[in-house]
Amino acid sequence: MKLSENNIRLIFGLKLKQLRLDKNLSLSELAKRSSLSVSYLNEIENGKKNPKRDKTASLAKVLDVPYDELVSLKLTKSLAPIGDLLESNILEQLPLDHYGIDVHKLLLQISQAPLQLSALVSTLIELAKSLELSENNFSKTAIRTYKELNENYFPELEDAVEKFCRKVKFNNKPPVMFNELLKVFTGELKYTIDEDSIPDTPEFANVRGINIPARKGKKLLINKKLTDSQKAFIIGKEIAYNYLNITDRTQIYSDLSLDSFDQLLNNLKASYFSTALIINKKELIGDLTKFFAKKNFDGDFLLSLLDKYNISPEMLFQRITNILSRYFNISSFFFLRFNSEVNSDVFHLSKEMRLNTKENPGGYMTTEHYCRRWVSIRLIKELEKLQSKSRAFQKPIAGIQKSTFINSNNEYLNISVAKNTALSKKSNYSVTLGFLLNDELKNKINFWNDPTIPVKVVNDTCERCHLADCKERVAPPVMYEKNLQLEKLWQDIRKLISNSLV
């Protein structure tokens, strides 16, 4: 069992408390017999102190247990699930402190719980491991939930951007270019920029930047292959980390896992700040008002915003999700990002967010095949066709679709943009906003009933879909058939029981 010093203290404290209670000793009685103070023993039992060898020996003598048994990480049957929980590292990934949950008290409650609850904890740990949900994925899910609970709008960060602009007299009217932010960055924060040191090798292919907090001056390495808008975004994040005094952060800009929920949360804050700095809120509200007022879907207008603000499709869509609920009263939608290698039929859902809706094309970590009828995937394939005709084709493309879920009949208006990945010519991605088609949306988006919008019946994955004549299907409906068999079995069991009672 590999445990941190903090977790070793927790286990020792829980073992000590259990032994004390088994001996029917109060804290004051144990303190008197071991010549230790009550407050000191209390800190030991709460995992805050680790006693020295002589004091541990004194406690072992009073409790009538061998010294080696007391300091051993081997746990009793009732405490074993706690050891598994600590070893799994799940607690370090869950943001318990952000939700007012004291880890020490939680572990204490589990240690005092019946064996049935301990069995449940063990089952959940094994389930998390088998689904690869331990470690970073718990934190990612928690971050997504955090964004959804706040409707992805953070007024304190919006205010911080405005204060920063006033402080440094920076006009963030569009477009905000890399060189403009660079002047603020190097002047105010005394940074040095290096665009030549990140190696042009496969190992560094997805490394966008590296922050080097040197003693004699901060340095930021930026991948020279990035677009102007991507460089500006990284500069904006570095400004955020410094201006918001964020120290618990990752120093690498890439898709590598972050170390903790706190780092993910701080990354969210920095990303939000940077996007708000680059995309002026008032300007975007005005542009979206024009876009939503159009009688027919205007993909060219949507794509023109990328040039107007000097931004990527993902930055645009992420910023739109910030202001939809607050300024347009549109509160039921989801955001998706799909990645795919060129000429591949494998699509990865790398980012998602849902507000007041549970439906979308799937979820993280699934081995199933996402429904190919979604505009998100169709648009990537269309982009590939354009790229195959001309290698020089680098433009983003936009699309729209009405999608009706086959099981619920809920209908969504999906707007999507697909583009090649800047750091790799061999991959593309799409970002999609899916709006639940309800009265709220129909009052805000005028082109919702544009007759030229294609309509598709969709599902989440092929494996769970019973649509018989689907030309886009890439996998048999094995999960759907399995659920049908299970339901039939239960019907037969209920029928058998009913007949037996006659």
Looking at residue 263, what is its pLDDT?
85
Looking at residue 76, what is its pLDDT?
67
**Residue 194: which of 170, 212, 176, 172 has the closest Cα?**
212
Q: How far is CA 60 from CA 28, 51, 74, in A?
A: 16, 12, 15
Assess whether pLDDT exceeds 90 at residue 415.
Answer: yes
- Kindly list the domain boundaries of the chain, sorted by start residue: 5-144, 151-278, 296-484
Beta carbons of 424 and 205 less than 8 angstroms apart:
yes
**Residue 317: which of 427, 422, 416 has the closest Cα?**
416
For residue 352, the cross-strand partners are: 336
Which residues make Cβ contacts (< 8 Å) with residue 196, sequence separation at least 6? Answer: 224
Distance, in Å, from the CA atom of 371 to the CA atom of 324, rounded to the nearest integer, reads: 26
- What backbone torsions phi and psi does residue 92 show, to the nearest 5 degrees? -75, -20
Q: How many other CB atoms are found less than 10 A from the CB of residue 58?
A: 16
Which tokens belong to 296?
């027919």
Provide the H-helix boundaries in 190-260. Answer: 228-243
**pLDDT tens profile 439-494:** 999 999 999 999 999 999 999 899 989 998 899 999 999 988 998 999 999 998 98
Report which residue type is found at 10.
L
Q: What is the DSSP string of 165-182?
A: HHHHT---PSP--HHHHH
- What is the dotted CATH code of the domain comprising 151-278? 1.10.10
β-strand pairing of 455-458 with 397-405? parallel
Which tokens belong to 114?
């019946």
Tell me the CB-side half-sphere exposure of residue 120, using CA atoms within 13 A. 7
CATH class of the region 5-144: mainly alpha
Q: Mean pLDDT throughout 14-43? A: 90
Please state which of the ranges 2-16, 103-117, 382-396 shows the lowest mean pLDDT.
Answer: 103-117
Find the length of the chain: 502
**pLDDT tens profile 247-267:** 989 899 987 656 577 888 899
Q: Mean pLDDT throughout 96-118? A: 63
Beta carbons of 164 and 239 less than 8 angstroms apart:
yes
Tell me whether the omega of the peptide bond preceding residue 175 falls within 30 degrees of 0, making it cis. Answer: yes
**pLDDT tens profile 393-408:** 889 999 999 999 988 8
Q: How far is CA 17 from CA 54, 79, 152, in A?
A: 18, 11, 43
Residue 281's pLDDT band, with cuts at 50, 70 and 90, is very high
Count of H helices and E strands in the chain?
20, 10
Radius of gyration from C-alpha coordinates of the chain: 28
**pLDDT tens profile 308-341:** 999 999 999 999 999 999 999 999 999 999 999 9
Q: How many other CB atoms are found less than 10 A from the CB of residue 416?
A: 27
- What backbone torsions phi and psi does residue 455 show, to the nearest 5 degrees? -120, 135
Distance, in Å, from the CA atom of 421 to the CA atom of 438, rounded to the nearest integer, reads: 34
Beta carbons of 384 and 368 less than 8 angstroms apart:
no
Residue 135's pLDDT band, with cuts at 50, 70 and 90, is very low
